[in-house]
Structure 1
Amino acid sequence: MAAPHQFLKSPLTAGIVGCPFSGGQPKAGVDAGPLELIESGLLDDIKALGYEVDFQGADTLAHALVSDGTADPDIGKLKKPRLVSKVTKELAERVYAHSSKGQLTVTLGGDHSLAMGTVSGTFKQYPEAALIWIDAHADINTPLTTPSGNLHGCPVSFLLGLPGTSKEEIPEFGWIEPVLKPERLVYIGLRDIDAGERKILKEHNIKCFSMFHVDKYGIGAVVEMALDHVGRQRPIHLSFDVDALDPEVAPSTGTAVRGGLTFREGHYITEAIAETGRLVSLDIMEINPSLGHELSVQQTVSIGRSLVRCALGETLL
């Protein structure tokens, strides 16, 4: 049975932020993910769970996404840095606006560079929060280590304030404060990590549960260890990249990696976090409706909806 919500205000309200953005990576189509989720019936799902819904439209950040003609050359290897900064900064403001009203914020992406904004907005309201990151990838490359320059592989490094991300080194992202502490971050589902990321994770002693640990201990034990690590009293921001799931489960995503979480393992994570009563913000990222045939898209969108429902407290019994 889920615990009462410890940080949200009554009546329970889900603040929905649709962010149709693909600028943090090279594959078109991930910007269509939010609208697919909305049109599939997600808002009705949430209302059926007893939440009021505060939603301004799937194009809520549309004006930030329209190019104003300003040149956006690479900064080092980083691609589209000014666009990503502009969108994530505004997203941070939107997330904070919902969080500051005591709402449970649900951000629908879009690519995972958006977490620069979602986590920043959440931690502005809840500075002692913890971040649980569900992903095949660590997304902790810095401007100094990134092999590709795609910013969806870098958000965690900016949130931690790692070398190469400071205001002095890259003023275009100067609005991002290093709100995250390594001991309040935990990963589940990792299985594709760059060499530079592996070094960062070890140097900062960041708690990681790879698929090896899921296989070894089982998902129930992994989630309990993750919650113990970040502390049992903190608000939780859950950032869920659907590529954490095995491609057979969620095929329509841009950087699929074999050997991922099963359908049940992915849903168990969201169910267990809902049970704590401490979830204050949720990201569902990297659903790309342009990848795969119609049935695989429907399957992936359906899983995105069910992950949201479980995170918001849906139970079988």
Structure 2
Amino acid sequence: MQSLETYGSLGTVSSLSISRLGFLMLPSNLPLARPAMSWASSLATADQEEEQAGVVLQRTVAYIGAPFCEGQNLVGTDLAPTALREAGLQAALARIGWDWEDQGDIDFKAHFRELRGAGGEATVEYQHTIQLYREWVSSGMAENFSTWVSRKRKRKRAAQGGAEEGVLSTHTPGQVDNSAMIGSGLRLVYDAVDMAARGGSFVLTVGGDHSIASASIAALHRTYPDLAVIWIDAHADANTPETSPSGHYHGMPAAHLMGWFDQEKPVDGFEWFPHKGCLSESRLAYVGLRDIDAQEGKLLRRSSVHCFTMREVDKHGIAKVIESALQAVDPNGRRPLHLSLDIDGIDPHFAPGTGTCARGGLSYREIHYICEELALTRRLVSMDLVEVNPALDAPPPSGPMHGDDPTIKASPQTVRLAAELVLSALGKTILPA
């Protein structure tokens, strides 16, 4: 495991990134708009190194809804892709010069019903949940979504004289719970991300839980074999089936990507996944860690993964930490970058709408700074946004604050923050261009 102290005194990563461009969006002195012919012509004069590295001019966001919550035992994250759309993300991105290609939501429920041989009412069930979310927004969101739905269902049960049944789940040590279902579902994410990446768009995959990262990053690796990953999270998600206390796959995707799963014990449902992983340990940097399982910690300490916990953030400040993280995974400032952003990396004071809150996380400005710095590299090619759970979110404040983006509609607190972070990662700045 590598930490900030390992790197000592570093040069300025952002200056390295901008002076030797390998993966580009737009030069920093141009407005965020579709590139003009003069800029296209200037690419022809790029030196041989830049041509070999490849130049990517991305001005289209491919939005992939991945409402997948089977990697853990809470529902609600499946609402996030719709919640981000309803918040006005498309209009907000258009305001800073991005085109939008909405790939829709992957229909996991229909897929799972088909696997079980059951019929096709899954889409109707999912649309009913989305309709409930829209009704809650229209109601004024005076209480959180879960409380509102609970009251609504209690009234309905009272009228019908019925009762809900609970379902208990058990975990078998050394196994991934529901692996066949999870693996087959994540294959759909893999295919969707692979197609979008090959089309040259900036791929924004909105979960869902963090399970989707194994599929999205594995797919991106096909288009960008030199990919480096910045992983924002309270948790490392680096357990194996043998070390996991819960068996929940959303705590394992990083380990799976790095090939830490037992090679002699293939995971049912993941026959499509790279058998030995696809992400080198040294290409992964965590920022914001503060809740790590004991055996998971031992795996990290024995690895070459770069870990920047909240202690490093406290000691050195977020500017030094993200500079060091970028230097660690991309020392020459030339690799394409992927941001895997778990909303629970942020302190629950700012992002309460998530299922695994941990105290002492990143502040509002610290997480925005991270996203802004990644945008400035001009090499960010994709992003996961996961674990946003509107069902657990706080109602929105009573009114907007000065400086709020006017294109983002009234939304629950965490949903609004998630939309803002996408904008920062895609180039929105405090001083307009």
Provide the residue aligned with 1:154 in structure 2. 252
Task: Assess if the C-alpha contact under 8 Å between 1:136 and 1:243 holds in 2.
Answer: yes
- For 1:215-234, list aligned pairs within 5 A: 215-231=314-330, 232-234=333-335
Which residue number in structure 2 is paired with residue 300 of structure 1? 414
> CA deviation digits over 1:60-109, x for unaligned, max 9?
65643545326999774421211211121111111111111111100111
In the alignment, the residues of structure 1 paired with residue 65 and residue 261 of structure 2 have an alpha-carbon distance, to the nearest angstrom, of: 31
276, 281, 286: which one aligns with 2:382: 281
Match of 2:199 among 75, 92, 101: 101
Whole-angstrom distance in 2 between the partners of 1:237 and 1:150: 24
User: What is the CA–CA distance in structure 2 between the aligned matches of 1:65 and 1:50, rounded to whole Å?
Assistant: 38
The answer to whether structure 1 residue 91 and structure 2 residue 189 are counterparts is yes
3-state DSSP class of the match of 1:85?
helix
Show the counterpart of 1:290: 391
3-state SS in 2 of match to 1:220: helix
Give distance in 1, aligned partners of 2:415 and 2:264.
37
Q: 1:48 aligns with which of 73, 82, 95?
A: 95
Q: Who wins on radius of gyration, i.e. which is larger?
A: 2
Mapped pair 1:37 → 2:84? yes
The residue type equivalent to 1:169 in the other structure is: P
| Superposition CA RMSD, Å | 2.2
Fraction of identical pairs, as percent: 39
Report the CA distance shift for 1:292/1:16 in structure 2 as closer, same or farther (over 3 A): closer
8 Å CA contact 2:233–2:289 kept in 1: the answer is: yes
* Residue 300 (structure 2) aligned to one of 201, 205, 213: 201
CA displacement at 1:59 relative to structure 2: 4.5
Output the CA distance in 1 between the equivalents of 2:210 and 2:224.
21
2:394–2:413 contact (8 Å) kept in structure 1: no
Structure 2 length-normalised TM: 0.69
Structure 2 gap ranges (5+) = 1-13, 19-23, 26-53, 119-168, 398-410
- Give the one of 225, 238, 263 matched to 2:339: 238
Return the alpha-carbon distance in structure 2 between the equivalents of residues 67 and 19 of structure 1.
18
SS at match of 1:57: strand
Name the counterpart of 2:56. 8
* Matches for 1:101-180 after TM superposition, within 5 Å: 101-164=199-262, 166=263, 168-177=265-274, 178-180=277-279
TM-score, structure 1 normalization: 0.93
**1:247 — aligned with what?**
348
Alignment-mate amino acid for residue 129 of structure 1: L
Shift in Å at residue 236 of structure 1?
Answer: 0.5
Distance 1:7 1:179 in 2: 23
Structure 2 counterpart SS, 1:240 = strand
Equivalent position of 2:427 in the other structure: 313
1:268 aligns with 2:382: no
Question: How far off is 1:277 after superposition?
Answer: 0.4
1:210-253 per-position Cα deviation (integer Å, ceiling 9, x unaligned): 00000000000000000100112110010000000000000010
Query: Matched residues in 1 for 2:414 and 2:281: separation?
Result: 31
User: How has the CA–CA distance of structure 1 residues 238 and 58 changed in structure 2, closer, same or farther, with 3 Å as cutoff?
Assistant: same
